[in-house]
Structure 1
Amino acid sequence: MNLQRLRNYLEGRTESRTQPVCAYLYDLAHLRERADRLRQSLPSRCKLFYAIKANSDEPILKALLNHIDGFEVASLGEIRHVRAIDDSATIVFGGPGKSDAELEGALDERIMLIHVESEHQLRRLDWIARCRNQVADILLRVNPASVPQQATLRMGGQATQFGIEETQIPAMFEFIRTLPGIRLKGLHIHAISNNLDAQTHLALMEHYFNLAEAWQRGYGLEFDWLNVGGGIGVNYANPNAAFDWDSFCKGLSMLIARRRPGFQIVFECGRFLAADCGYYVAEVTDVKTTYGKHFAILRGGSHHFRLPVSWQHNHPFVVLARDSWCYPFSRPGVHDAQVTLCGELCTPKDILARDVTVERLRAGDRVVFLLAGAYGWHISHHDFLSHPHPERVFLDNC
C-alpha cells in the first residue's frame, strides 16, 4: 500500500471530533505479492511457511493460503485458526509448553510435523499416540551449543527454555528407537530472531547443515526435513536497509548445490513476511511541552501497538498532515523540533518513538507507523484502561 492510498482511505472517512482516528490497515494484495516473491526466490529444496504468531487474523491467513507452502503454529488455538480457513492446509507445530490436550489436538488435526522440545514432551507424545494407535511424525528441536551470530533475540547457543541441548541429542536418537508412537523426520534448529545480515544468516544455515549431516552419518539416520526457523529480521531503525533476501537466496542456492543435502529445508517466516503489509494510524490529540521537552499524545499507544515498547526502539513513522481544525482556539503543535510520541495510557512507558525530529506535528494530524503488520496488535494488552480498540481494516484489490 502506498501512502497516497492510505491517505485516500482516511479522507474518505466520516470525520468525528470526539472519535479521533485510530486504526490498523492491512494491504492484502501486497502481502500476497510479497509471499510470492519470497517463495519464488528460494531454491527448489526449500519451503516457505508462515509463522502465524506474527499475525493470525483470518483475512491474513486467507490471503496467504496458496501463496506459501504451509503454516507454523504454536498452540492448539492457532491450529484452529488455520483449520478455520482450510481443512487440509499443511501445518507444523512448535512451542516449548505443549499440553496433552494440544498434542492430542495436533494428532486430531493431522499436523504434518510436531516439533518436540524436551524428553518429557517426547515421552508424553509417544504415550498419547500409542493410546490412540497412531504414530506421530516429529522434528527434534535442537538448542545448538554455539551460535556466533548476533540478533535481537536468541533462543539458542545459551541456556533458554527452547529445544534440547545439543549434547543430549545423540541420546534422544537412541531413545526414539524404543518409542513405537514416534517417527523421527528431522530437526528443528531456530536459534536467533531478527537477524538483519544476509551473510551471517548464510553462515548460520551452514552451521545447521553441519549439525544435521554429522548426526545423519554418525547415527545412520536419513532426515526428510531440516526446519531452520525464521529469524530473518526487519530493520525498524532504517527501513531502507532491509535484509538482502535476493543475495541470501543466491548464497543458499550455492550452499545447497555444494552440499547436496537429502533433506528439504523449511523456513518459517512471520515478521519478515507480514510486517510491511500493515500500518498503525493514530491521531494526535494533544501536543505539549514539559520541562523543555515536547510530547505528542496519540489516540492509541502500546495497548494497541506494543512492539516499540517491547523492543525498546523508535518505530518508523510518517506524519499525514490534516488541515481541518474545528475548535475556536489555537492549535497546539511543534515545528522543526524533537518530539516524543506517546500513547494515552497512564504509564510513562507508553512511548512509540522518543525524541524524534519532525518538520511539523500538530493536534489533529495523523501519525502512520510503518512495518506494523507483524507483532503489533497480536502481542498487545488490548483492554488495559478499557480504551476503545482501533479499527482493523483489510484492504484488497482482487
Structure 2
Amino acid sequence: MISIPSGWYGRHDSQLTVGGIPVERLAARVGSTPFFAYDRELVNRRVASVRAALPGDVELSYAVKANPMPALLQHMSGLVDGFDVASAQEMRHALDTPGPASRISFAGPGKSAAELAQAVAAGVTIELESELEVERVRSASAAAGIPARVALRVNPDFVVRGSGMRLGGGPQQFGIDSERIPAVLAGLGGDEFDFQGFHVFAGSQNLRVDSICEAQRRTVELIVGFADAAPGPVRYLNIGGGFGIPYALRDRPLDLGPIGDNLARLVDGLVRPRLPEARIVVELGRYLVGEAGVYVTRVVDRKESRGKVFVVVDGGLHHQLAASGNFGQVIRRNYPIAVGNRMDDPPEETVTVVGCLCTPLDLLGDDVSLPKAGVGDLIVLFQAGAYGLTASPAAFLSHPAPAEVLV
C-alpha cells in the first residue's frame, strides 16, 4: 500500500471524501456499489501543474483512451487544447464538446474505411499508421471532395527506457517505420491531403525523468530531419507524453520541472528555428486523470481459509482489470487501497481483498494491511481515474455495470 499524496483527498468523520463528499453519502447518491468517482478539482490541479511546467507555447492534448467518460470530456474541453482519440466512438464524444474538430487527432492501427471516411468528413487530423491507410484516406477524401487533414505517426528507430508499455522502436503495429517516412511523404502531394505534420508516441507510464527527456530530444531530432521532405510546412508536432503516476510503494511521482526545462531548450534550439509554424503538442492521458479517480466497492462477505482472511467485495476485475494485475503488468503490485468509511482506524489485520467473480484472477489487494473490514464497509481503490471501466471486461459473468460520477 502507498500513501495518498497529502491533500489529494479529504476526510470527514473518519470517511474519505471525494469532491468534498463523504464516501458513504456519495454511495447513497449513486444508489449502489460498485462505482467510479472522479474529482474534477483534482483534475483541474493536475492540468494546472502541467501547464505551469511546460513552455507557454506548447499545447496540451488529452488522450481520451485513458478515460472517455462524456462528462469528464466536457470538463476537460475547457482545460486542454485538444483531444487524441482512437476510435469513431471516442471521436464522436470529442466532437460533442465545444472544442473545434481541427484540434482532435485520430490515432491507432486498424482504422476501418468507415471510420476514416467519418474522420475526413468531420475535419479531424488523421494520424496515418500505414501505407494502406494512406491509400484509404486518399480514397475517402476523393469520395467526399474534402482534403483530408493528415499527419504521419512515426515508429521511431529508438526505444524509450523505463516505459511501462512500449509503443515505439523495433517492429510495431503502431506508426510507420521511420526509415519509410521519406517515401511516404513523397506520396502525400495532391489535393486529397492537407498535410499537418507528425506524431511520435514511443512509450507510456514512465516515471524516469531522464528517460522522458531523452525521448523528447530524440523525437524532436527525428522529426526535424523529415522537414525538408514534407509536402508542406510542418504545422503539427505531437511529441507524445508517457508521463507515469505512482501505483506502488517504490514508485516516486514525476518531477515535471526538468521535463519542462528540457522541452523549452528543444523548442528554442531546434523546433522554432526549423519548424516555425509547428504547433507543439504534448499528449497525456493517465497523468491528467489517473490520480483523480477512485473505485468504490462494498464488502459482502469475509471468510477465513486455512489461516488466510479473504474480504469479498461486490466489484472486481470486470471493472478494474488493471488493479488485478491483468492489464499487461509483468509483476502484479497492489494499488493503494483503504477502508473508505474507516479512514481514521489503524490497520489491524492482513487480508486479501477479492472480487465476486468465479476466477482466482479476481484479486484487488493481496496481503494488504487494513482496519478490520466487515460486511457493509466500503473498500476504496485509488489511482482509478484512468484505464478503469473501459479497459476492463465489464460483460464477464454478466454483473451489472458500475456507475461513474464526476464530482
Give the TM-score, by structure 1 length: 0.88
What do the CA deviations read for 1:216-252 (whole angstroms, capped 9, x no partner)? 2466863222211231111111497212123311222
In structure 1, how many angstroms separate the alpha carbons of the residues matched to 2:147 and 2:296?
A: 48
The percentage of counterpart residues that share the same residue type is 33
Is residue 165 of structure 2 the alignment partner of residue 170 of structure 1? no
Q: Does 1:267 align with 2:282?
A: yes
Q: 1:260 Cα deviation (Å)? A: 4.2
Deviation at 1:131, TM superposition (A): 2.4
Write out aligned runs for 1:199-214 (5 A): 199-214=210-225
What is the SS of the residue equivalent to 1:186?
A: strand
CA distance in 2, matches of 1:55, 1:220: 35
Within the candidate set 338, 343, 356, 1:318 is matched to: 338
1:280–1:248 CA distance, 2 compared to 1 (3 A): same
CA distance in 2, matches of 1:81, 1:87: 11
Give the match for residue 233 of structure 1: 244
Change (3 A) 1:137 1:21: closer
Aligned to 1:107: 120
| Alignment correspondent of 2:291 | 276
On the 8 A contact 1:307/1:376 being kept in 2, the answer is: yes
On the 8 A contact 2:240/2:283 being kept in 1, the answer is yes
Partner of 1:328: none
Point out where structure 2 has 5 or more consecutive residues left out of the alignment. 1-7
Rounded Cα–Cα distance in structure 2 between residues aligned with 1:387 and 1:114: 37
Q: Measure the CA separation in 1 of the matches of 2:121 and 2:139.
A: 15
Unaligned runs of 5+ in 1: 324-333
Letter in 2 for 1:229: G
Q: Deviations over 1:261-299 (max 9, x none)?
A: 323321121111111221111122222222333221111
Q: Which moved more, 1:19-28 or 1:73-82?
A: 19-28
Q: Structure 2 counterpart of 1:2, which letter?
A: Y
Partner SS for 1:156: coil
Distance in 1, Cα, partners of 2:89 & 2:43: 23
- 1:291 equivalent to 2:299? Answer no
Aligned pairs for 1:138-153 within 5 A: 138-153=150-165
* Distance in structure 2 (CA, Å) of the matches to 1:70 and 1:240: 29
Distance 1:361 1:104 in 2: 53
Question: Which residue does 2:37 correspond to in 1?
Answer: 25
2:23 alignment partner in structure 1? 10
Number of matched residues? Answer: 381
Quick check: 1:20–1:283 contact (8 Å CA) kept in 2? no
User: 1:94 maps to what in 2?
Assistant: 107
Q: For 1:70-118, what per-residue CA distance to the aligned partner results, in whole angstroms no more than 9, with x for missing partners?
A: 111111111111222337352111111111111111122121x210000
Cα distance in 1, alignment partners of residues 84 and 217 from structure 2: 23
Q: CA deviation at 1:69?
A: 0.2
TM-aligned CA deviation for residue 195 of structure 1 = 0.8
**Which amino acid in 1 is paired with 2:212?**
H
Amino acid at match of 2:34: C
Cα shift at 1:341:
1.5
- CA distance 1:20–1:130, shift in 2 (3 Å): closer
SS in structure 1 at match of 2:42: helix
Matched AA of 2:310: F
Q: 1:219 to 1:9 in 2, by over 3 A?
A: closer
Displacement of 1:364 in angstroms is: 3.0
Deviations 1:307-352 (A, max 9, x none): 22313331111223459xxxxxxxxxx9644322111000110112
Q: What does the per-residue CA deviation read over 1:39-84, in whole Å, with 9 as the maximum and x for residues that have no partner?
A: 3431133110111111111210111112110111111111111222
Structure 2 counterpart SS, 1:209: helix
1:372 is matched with which residue: 377, 381, 384?
384
1:209-228 aligned at under 5 Å gives the runs 209-217=220-228, 222-228=233-239
Distance 1:13 1:186, change over 3 A: closer
Q: Which amino acid aligns with 2:139?
A: W
CA distance in 2, matches of 1:170, 1:335: 60
2:193 is matched with which residue? 182
The answer for the alignment partner of 1:330 in structure 2 is none
1:73 is aligned to: 85
Q: Does the CA contact (< 8 Å) of 1:20 and 1:299 recur in 2?
A: no
- The match for 1:39 is 51
The CA deviation string for residues 12-54 of structure 1, in whole angstroms up to 9 with x for no partner, is 3687xxx974221111232233223323431133110111111
**205 and 281 in structure 1: CA distance in 2 versus 1, 3 angstrom threshold:** same
Alpha-carbon shift at residue 123 of structure 1 (Å): 0.8
Partners of 1:69 and 1:20 in 2: CA distance: 35
Residues 54, 335 of structure 1: alpha-carbon distance in 2 compared, 3 angstrom cutoff:
closer
TM-score scaled by structure 2? 0.86
Would you say the 8 A contact 2:162–2:208 is kept in 1? Answer: no
CA contact (8 A) 2:73 2:94 kept: yes
CA contact (8 A) 2:297 2:380 kept: yes
Structure 1 partner of 2:69: 57
Shift of 1:196: 0.8
